[in-house]
Structure 1
Amino acid sequence: MLMKSNEVARIGVIAAVYAACTLIALLFLGSLAWGPIQFRVSEALCALALFTPAAIPGLTLGCAIANVANIALSGTGMLGLLDVVFGSLATFAGACFTWKMRKHPLVALAGPVIANALIVPAYLPILLQATGFYTIPFTSISLDGAWPLMYLFGLVTTGAGEAVIMYVLGYPLSKSLARTPYFKADSPFAEARGASH
């Protein structure tokens, strides 16, 4: 079955907004948008998956576009393709979880946190070495042969950064969107209010 044109448009808008927000963050926040301690502000847009399944391909495509652009900006070269593939996979998995659990918004927003915390640290040490990091940040532990320690470091820092973004920015964003006419009909918060009456 072919997608309706308004669904394709919604996917395109979400992808463009995510990619633009990520690139702006990359330009102004540098490694905070993709490095060992991440606060990728654009991840707050994963809250859109509470309202529409179009957010799943939209966010995934936007992440892939931003990560391709980051190859040129960060100088990771072809190793940056790891981020294009696996970073986009993390965004896809997180958005899927958020959509599936949308009736429980606080639980649903944990999807991107868990997906990014588990997936991103698996390839991050390779990218860090490619961009000039040779020790685990804030330690003197060499990245060579320290993959389990780096994974654990990344699990904590990536998960914590994503949690801050999802719950400090994403949750209020979703509550605000739920009050707008465009998203009100699809709001998981309306269902929660209805169930409490």
Structure 2
Amino acid sequence: MKNKGTLFLVQAAAIAAVYVVLTTVFAAFSFGEVQVRISEALTILPVFTPAAIPGLFVGCIISNFLGGAILMDVIFGSIATLIGAVFTYKLRNSSKWLAPVPPIVANALIVPFTLYYGYGVNLPIPFMMLTVGIGEVISCGVLGMILYGALSKYRHTIFGATTAVEK
């Protein structure tokens, strides 16, 4: 593709859109102190394209806003996803098994504080770190790695010649 900027923008927009759709369709268990946000499986995508970083961030902002989240959650929940995406991208040349670790850790550390201070969930923060972390392990660690396996064969076709994996 001649215009790499256009490819980047289209990939980021598509990732944001898919994130929003998955979060909305599975809204029943995408929010709360015990959550398995299926859309978080997409946090594996920065391994394939840097466009996933803004795509995931914008998708999370829109999803949280549409899901009725408070401003604190829109901001800090989305920042947790952004941090996870950035560090997944930084680990793209490491073992594939490290790729889901940053979003798991970022969300497990940040989201419980939002739940406690923003929503007034009266559970111990370490307990919510565990419950949010377990949900992230399911979303990022299990579903994300399944997605990774499915996309690995087709990375050149799907993500074009400018993917992070190719360098």
TM over 0.5: yes
Query: Match of 1:43?
Result: 40
Moved more, 83-92 or 159-168: 159-168
User: Could you tell me which amino acid in structure 2 is paired with residue 58 of structure 1?
Assistant: G
TM-score normalised by length of structure 2: 0.88
SS of structure 1 residue aligned to 2:43? helix
1:153 paired with 2:130, answer: no
In the TM superposition, 1:79-90 aligns within 5 A as: 80-90=70-80
How many residues of Structure 1 are paired with residues of Structure 2 in the alignment? 161
Gaps of 5+ in 1: 137-149, 192-197
1:110 corresponding residue in structure 2:
101
Question: Post-superposition, which runs of at least 4 consecutive aligned residues in structure 1 deviate over 6 A?
Answer: none
Equivalent residue runs for 1:164-175 within 5 Å: 164-175=138-149
CA distance in 1, matches of 2:86, 2:5: 20
Amino acid at match of 2:14: V
2:43 touches 2:56 (CA, 8 Å); kept in 1? yes
Cα displacement (A) at 1:183: 4.4
Which runs of 5 or more structure 2 residues have no equivalent in the other structure? Answer: none
CA distance in 2, matches of 1:187, 1:13: 17
Given the alignment of the two structures, is residue 13 of structure 1 paired with residue 14 of structure 2, yes or no? yes
Which of 116, 119, 136 matches 1:125? 116
- C-alpha spacing 1:111/1:168, structure 2 compared with 1 (3 Å): same
Q: Deviations over 1:161-193 (max 9, x none)?
A: 1011112110010111111232486485x99xx
Q: Give the structure with higher Rg (CA).
A: 1
- Give the AA of the match of 1:60: F
List per-residue Cα deviations over 1:85-115 (Å, max 9, x = no partner).
0000000000011000012221121010000
Which of structures 1 and 2 has the larger relative contact order (alpha carbons within 8 angstroms, sep 6+)? 2
Q: Give me the CA root mean square deviation.
A: 2.2
- Cα distance in 1, alignment partners of residues 7 and 44 from structure 2: 20
Please state how far the C-alpha of 1:160 moved relative to its aligned partner.
1.2
Aligned mates of 2:116, 2:39 — CA distance in 1:
22
Q: Identity of aligned pairs, percent?
A: 39
Q: CA deviation at 1:65?
A: 0.3
**TM-score, length-scaled by structure 1:** 0.75
